[in-house]
Structure 1
Amino acid sequence: SMEVPSQGPEVIKVPTSQYEFGANYIDPKLMLIGRIAPDGRLNGRVKYEVTENLFAQMNAQLTNEPGYSQGMFNLDYKGKDFRTQCQVGNNGFYGGNYIQSVTKNLSLGTEGFWLQQQRKSGVGFLARYDTKNMGCNWTNCKHWTGFTELRSESV
Structure 2
Amino acid sequence: MAGVLPPAAEAKQPSPFPVGVSPLDVVLGSKTELSRPRTNGFLDAVLDTYYSFQDRRAALGLSNPGTVDQIAKEVQRDVFLTNQTFSGLRAELNKSFSIYPLFQISHAFSSGSQMLSPYTFLALYGTDNILCQAQLDSDASFSARFNTRLAQALTFKTALQIQPPSGMSPGGTQLSLEQDYTGADFTAQLKSINPSILDGTLTGMFIGSYLQSVTPRLSLGLEGVWQKPDALGGPDAAISYAARYKGDDWIASAQLLTQGGLQGSYWRRLTDKVETGVDVNLQFAGLSGANAMMGGMRKEGTATFGAKYEFSRSIFRAQVDSQGKIGCLWDKVVAPPVRVTFAGEMDHVKNSAKLGLAVSIEGSPEELMEQQERTIPASPPF
Shorter-chain TM-score bucket reads 0.7 to 0.9
Structure 1 residues without counterparts, runs of 5 or longer: 1-13
128-137 or 99-108, which moves further after superposition? 128-137
Q: Deviations over 1:3-40 (max 9, x none)?
A: xxxxxxxxxxx837622111110111111110011111
Tell me the equivalent position of 2:360.
none
Tell me the equivalent position of 2:163.
63
TM-score, normalised via structure 1 length: 0.84
- Tell me which of 170, 180, 204 is aligned to 1:92: 204
Higher relative contact order (CA 8 A, sep 6+): 2
Q: CA deviation at 1:142?
A: 2.9
Q: How many residues align?
A: 142
**Distance in 1 between the 2:265 and 2:193 partners?**
28
Question: Aligned-pair RMSD on alpha carbons?
Answer: 1.8
102-111 or 15-24, which moves further after superposition? 15-24
Tell me the equivalent position of 1:21.
121
Tell me the equivalent position of 2:249.
133
Tell me the equivalent position of 1:152.
268
Tell me the equivalent position of 1:113.
225
Kindly indicate whether residue 201 of structure 2 is the aligned counterpart of residue 104 of structure 1.
Answer: no
98-107 or 42-51, which moves further after superposition? 42-51
**Distance in 2 between the 1:86 and 1:26 partners?**
23
**Distance in 1 between the 2:260 and 2:159 partners?**
25
**Distance in 2 between the 1:92 and 1:115 partners?**
6
Supply the AA of the counterpart residue of 2:259: H
Tell me the secondary structure at the aligned position of residue 86 of structure 1: strand
**Distance in 1 between the 2:140 and 2:193 partners?**
22
139-148 or 36-45, which moves further after superposition? 139-148
Supply the AA of the counterpart residue of 2:154: L
Q: CA deviation at 1:64?
A: 2.8
Supply the AA of the counterpart residue of 1:70: Q
Tell me the secondary structure at the aligned position of residue 20 of structure 1: strand
User: Does the C-alpha gap of structure 1 residues 84 and 39 become closer, same or farther in structure 2, counting only changes over 3 Å?
Assistant: same
**Distance in 1 between the 2:134 and 2:171 partners?**
21
**8 Å CA contact retained: 2:130, 2:147:** yes
Structure 2 residues without counterparts, runs of 5 or longer: 1-110, 195-202, 271-275, 277-382
86-95 or 49-58, which moves further after superposition? 86-95
User: Does the C-alpha gap of structure 1 residues 144 and 67 become closer, same or farther in structure 2, counting only changes over 3 Å?
Assistant: farther
Between structures 1 and 2, the one with greater strand share: 1
Q: Identity across aligned pairs (percent)? A: 25
Q: Deviations over 1:68-123 (max 9, x none)?
A: 21111000001111100011110511110000000000000000111112622211
**Distance in 1 between the 2:176 and 2:260 partners?**
22
Q: Mark the structure with the bigger radius of gyration.
A: 2
